[in-house]
């Protein structure tokens, strides 16, 4: 079997939208299961009394990373056919800082706000309504921002290439960082968890 299935023509564009919907259901389901439909749960990450955001996110990253790594080693998955966003370092970093600030101001991120709205959180709905406003503002300012938006271009870059280390070594390092982070996160929760 050759994967990614879509890239090998296993199905067409129309079917890919059905796949999108089904994958989205899984995505939303586990976001809500994890508690990410709750702004209080999400922002607790940034007050250090509940680090579930870090734990869930890094467990997901490690799971998917190990999955693609093994499948690629087995020759089942062609990693070069998986889309990677090219690196534009400066807008990536500044945009990330803005994203982080918006996270604590709004209590959600774009994906979790949809899951939150689905379970009746009115603040999640307000967040979702704010999203197109921000995107429209960006679009209208785009002529001014374009220079910066296209700055720091390095093309498609992976950590193994940037660090000059074999893919497997970087995978192993990420697993180590995650496991170390999980243990550190639990210690922080004990210290700042308070009455939770």
Partner 1 sequence: MASTGEIVHTTGPGTGEGAQALERTAAEPYMNPYLAGIGLGLVLLAAFVIMGRGLGASGAVNSLVAWMVSLVAPAHAQSNGFLAEYVGDGSTHPLKAWLVFEVLGVFVGGLLSGLLAHRAALVVEKGPRVSAGTRLLMAFLGGAIMAFGAALARGCTSGQALTGGAMLNAGSWATMMAIFGGAYAVAWLMRWQWR
- Binders of partner 1 among 53-92, rule CB under 8 A? 55-65, 67-68, 71, 77, 81-89, 91-92
Residue 122 engages partner 1 in binding (rule: CB under 8 A): yes
**179: CB partners within 8 A, 6+ apart:** none
Between CA 52 and CA 172 the distance in angstroms is: 22
Count the alpha carbons within 13 Å of 104 in the hemisphere toward its beta carbon.
10
Work out how close the CB of 92 gets to partner 1 at its nearest, in angstroms, rounded to a whole number. Answer: 4
Residue 138 engages partner 1 in binding (rule: CB under 8 A): yes
Residue 41 engages partner 1 in binding (rule: CB under 8 A): yes
Residue 32 engages partner 1 in binding (rule: CB under 8 A): yes
Q: What single-letter DSSP state applies at residue 155? A: E
Among 12, 74, 75, 97, binds partner 1 (CB under 8 A): 97
Work out how close the CB of 151 gets to partner 1 at its nearest, in angstroms, rounded to a whole number. Answer: 11
Work out how close the CB of 150 gets to partner 1 at its nearest, in angstroms, rounded to a whole number. Answer: 10
Between CA 49 and CA 178 the distance in angstroms is: 18
Closest CA to 122 of 53, 47, 52, 39: 39
Residue 175 engages partner 1 in binding (rule: CB under 8 A): no
Among 75, 109, 168, 184, binds partner 1 (CB under 8 A): 109
Residue 191 engages partner 1 in binding (rule: CB under 8 A): no
CA 76 to chain centre: 24
Residue 188 engages partner 1 in binding (rule: CB under 8 A): no
The three state secondary structure string of 53-98 is HHHHHHHHHHHHHHHHHHHHHCCCECHHHCCCCCEEHHHHHHHHHH
Work out how close the CB of 113 gets to partner 1 at its nearest, in angstroms, rounded to a whole number. Answer: 7
Residue 151 engages partner 1 in binding (rule: CB under 8 A): no
């Amino acid at each position: 079997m050759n994967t990614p299935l879509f890239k090998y023509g296993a199905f067409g564009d129309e079917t890919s939208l059905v796949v999108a919907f089904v994958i989205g259901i899984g995505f939303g389901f586990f976001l809500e299961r994890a508690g990410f439909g709750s702004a209080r749960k999400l922002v607790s990450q940034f007050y250090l009394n509940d680090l579930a955001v870090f734990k869930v996110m890094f467990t997901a990253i490690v799971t998917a990373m190990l999955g693609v790594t093994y499948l690629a080693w087995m020759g089942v998955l062609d990693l070069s056919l998986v889309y990677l966003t090219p690196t534009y370092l400066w807008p990536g970093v500044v945009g990330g800082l803005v994203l982080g600030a918006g996270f604590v101001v709004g209590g959600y991120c774009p994906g979790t706000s949809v899951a939150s709205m689905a379970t009746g959180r009115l603040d999640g709905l307000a967040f979702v309504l704010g999203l197109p406003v921000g995107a429209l503002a960006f679009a209208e300012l785009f002529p001014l921002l374009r220079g910066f938006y296209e700055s720091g271009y390095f093309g498609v870059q992976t950590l193994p290439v940037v660090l000059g280390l074999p893919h497997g070594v970087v995978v192993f390092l990420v697993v180590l960082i995650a496991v170390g982070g999980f243990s550190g996160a639990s210690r922080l929760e004990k210290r700042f968890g308070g009455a939770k």
